[in-house]
Amino acid sequence: MTNDNAENGFLADRADAADALTPKKTADRHFPVLLERCVSLFAESVENARAQKRQPILVDCTLGMGGHSEAMLERYPDAMLIGIDRDTMALSLAGERLKKFEDRTHLVHAVYNEIADVVRDLGLPGVDGVLFDLGVSSLQLDERERGFAYSFDAPLDMRMDRTEGTTAADLVNTLDESELVRILRVYGEEKFAGRIAKSIVTDRATKPFTTTGELVESIRKVVPAGAARTAGHPAKRTFQALRIAVNEELDVLEEAIPASMDVLNVGGRVVVMSYHSLEDKITKKFFAAAAKSSAPAGFPVELEEHKARFKTITRGTEQPTELEIAENPRAASARLRATERTLPRSSS
């Protein structure tokens, strides 16, 4: 993902439409990114399961409002779908959308790094496909009270799972200035991190932050107007950084990618769509390592235990077409990678 995060740039446009979207059906509120490509990437995995006379099992680790899951269930009418999401509202809405497939679905309230536990608890030895659509969902952007958007005033929350955890307000009101700088620089790639962190610390001494609007005003005071004209809304990188920190997204992803690869049957695939350069780097790291032989350099014969157990399906990252971006602006920064298990899991 580029520095101009589409999910944040998309907020301003989505904000005006939020009220209009709220009453509509779930399917009308959700615009799945790279839908056709994601679904088709699992075709060979599904056929492989069928050839072994097994029911194909697919996992949507970021269920959201169920757009990708619905498409997979329609495309593969014999497949079982496991939908995972930490957001209870998303689970409820997706459940409505997928009700006609309820005999083939298991919707689970969990964080996606818990995929191995979810699969085990369902009594399954492995799965044939795993999908990640990372970042913030359309649902979370549209619901004002969630506090993900800088375009309107709301409680400063940003938790994907509102049943537990630290809020964005907790972070901006308690972290020391140096830690705020680190979060804004690393997660938001914010070049004015020092100024913004100092402004936050100064303002909270008078009154703790409780709303997104208060935080936006604190940021506006120290970000040059010229920077906003060229880089978009002055708060967008700060909001991105806080959201990632609140939900521990990168730490969770570091665990989730290898865990998803571990539960795959031979021929199974993991497909990851990321919207942030750090997400893509984590995905690339695990995919590349698994697709390399572990044989020592110059070793004359590659032993079985040294063979790569995965193969790369995508060359680099795949991106949405101009047509899809025009139809769905959120897709602009999406980057897709896929890998396939070629050898059984190690018994060790």
Nearest Cα to 9, choosing from 282, 337, 331, 336? 331
68 labelled binding-site residue:
yes
Q: Amino acid identity of 339?
A: T
Sign of the torsion angle spanned by Cα atoms 171, 276, 332, 247: negative
Cα(120)–Cα(127) distance, integer angstroms: 10
Residue 109 CB: number of other CB atoms within 10 A? 16
Determine whether the annotation assigns residue 319 to a binding site.
no
280 is in an annotated binding site: no
Residue 66 is assigned to a ligand binding site = yes
Amino acid letter, 4? D
Is residue 142 within 8 Å of 21, Cβ to Cβ? yes
Task: State the DSSP string of 265-302.
Answer: EEEEEEEEEESSHHHHHHHHHHHHHHTS--SPTT-SS-
Question: What's the sign of the alpha-carbon dihedral 247, 83, 52, 338?
Answer: negative
Contact between 230 and 92 under an 8 Å Cβ cutoff? The reply is: no
298 marked ligand binding residue: no
Dihedrals φ, ψ of 207, to 5°? Answer: -155, 125
> CA dist 139 to 13, 36, 64, 93, Å?
14, 21, 7, 9
Token pair for 126: 């492995």
* Separation of alpha carbons 50 and 56, rounded Å: 7
CA distance 286 to 255: 10
Burial class (CB in 10 A: 0-12, 13-18, 19+), 163: exposed
Query: Would the annotation count 150 as a binding residue?
Result: no
- Please check if 276 is assigned to a binding site: no
Number of other CB atoms surrounding residue 239 within 10 Å: 28
Antiparallel, parallel or unpaired: β 57-60 and 335-341 = unpaired
* Known binding positions for S-adenosyl-L-methionine: 66-68, 85, 112, 133, 140
Binding-site annotation, residues: 66-68, 85, 112, 133, 140
